[in-house]
Structures are given as structure tokens and as C-alpha cells.
Chain A
Amino acid sequence: SQTIHQWPATLVQPVGSPLSLECTVEGTSNPNLYWYRQAAGRGLQLLFYSVGIGQISSEVPQNLSASRPQDRQFILSSKKLLLSDSGFYLCAWSVTGTGYNEQFFGPGTRLTVL
């Protein structure tokens, strides 16, 4: 069966510090991968998606970036965090091909920027 992992689970970082969140998927090959951010009490905002290694599509211009160095690894990064980067970050995967298939989400990382 497929499993998706995210770490860390929680993170408190000062403004201006770098960020690296990692997501890995097990039990499937060539998945579509997604990064979402959920602000407190809000819906999900798609940040990035990837259909393959090294292929990243950005949906929202910001100080975040994403990379996919391996088939089942998706990393969200920032060189300098802003207060507005605080939120709940969710990684998700769906089966390869189109994006119409349902997405399966990881446990999330709660990021607080102080």
C-alpha cells in the first residue's frame, strides 16, 4: 500500500531563516506530487506540483521554491522566511498521468514563523 511521509511535524523558525520541508512517498512509482499551504481557518492553496523528477510547476509567486530530486521525494524550501509563511503545509500525491485523480495527503507540517 502507498504511504506518504512528511517531516518535520512542527517547526518554529525566526523570520529570515531558511526552510526545508521534505515529503516522501512509498509504494508507488512516478506519482504526481503537490505542495499546499493552509492558513489558519482557511482552505488549501496549491503552491507547487510536479509530474516528474526535476519538473516543477509554480502556482503562486512567493519566496518559496520546490524541488524533486528523486521520483518519490518532494522538497519545499525557502532562503528567507517571512511572517506570512506561517501555516500548515501539506504534501500530496496522486497516480501518474492527469491530475484528475484523487489526491492523498501526508500528515502535514505546522510552521510558525516568529
Chain B
Amino acid sequence: AQKVTQAQTEISVVEKEDVTLDCVYETRDTTYYLFWYKQPPSGELVFLIRRNSFDEQNEISGRYSWNFQKSTSSFNFTITASQVVDSAVYFCALSETNTGGFKTIFGAGTRLFVKA
């Protein structure tokens, strides 16, 4: 069965600090997809990144970077030089091929507080 664990419930940092959000997943599939979403206080989830299981290259997008390590079943998300606007709940998610990818499992989320 698939499972996504975000062990960090809440993280609090001061602006300009770097912060890493951890995500560990479990799956029996060899082909799967991982996602990160951001949920600001308004409530609407915003897609950040999708990564398939065959692509272990790390990705950087501005202040955001993602580290995918299949060997440890982790897909961690780092925000560099955090800003107050980064304050949100961040969700890691997993879709497996055996369900056509429709049954996306979300982690419990990590709430990030960035203080000015």
C-alpha cells in the first residue's frame, strides 16, 4: 500500500533562513509520481512540482529545490532564503501506476511559519 509521511508537523524559521521539508514515501510500484503542493492561508492548493520515479535529477526553480532519492524513498523540498510569503502548509503526494494514477495519496502536510 502506498503511504506518504511528512514527519515535520510545523516548522518555524526567521526570514532569509533556508528550510528543508522532508517527505518519505512507500510504494510497491516501480513506476510512480511524486508531487509537492503549497496551501497558503486562503486554502487553495497550488501545484509546485511533479517528478516521476525514473527521473532522479534534482530540480531547482528560483528559491525552491527538490532532492529526490529513490534509495531512501525521499523527496525533500528546500526553500532557500525563505520569505514571509512562503508561510503555508506544504503537502507531498504520491500517485501509483496500478490505479492509473488517479488515487493520489497526500501526506499530512508540514506547516511552515516564516517570521519577519
Contact = CB atoms under 8 A, between A and B. Distances in A.
Interface of A: 32, 34, 42-46, 49, 51, 57, 59, 88, 90, 92, 98-108, 110
B52 to A, nearest CB: 7
Contact of A108 (B44, B47, B52): B44
Chain B interface residue number, banded: 20 to 34
A103 B39 CA distance: 13
Contacts of A105: 37, 44-46
Given A49-B102, A99-B99, A99-B104, A43 B47 contact: no
B102 A108 contact: no
A43 to B, nearest CB: 4
18 contacts: A42-B109, A43-B106, A43-B109, A44-B45, A44-B106, A45-B106, A46-B105, A49-B103, A51-B102, A88-B43, A98-B102, A99-B100, A100-B97, A101-B50, A102-B47, A105-B37, A105-B44, A107-B42
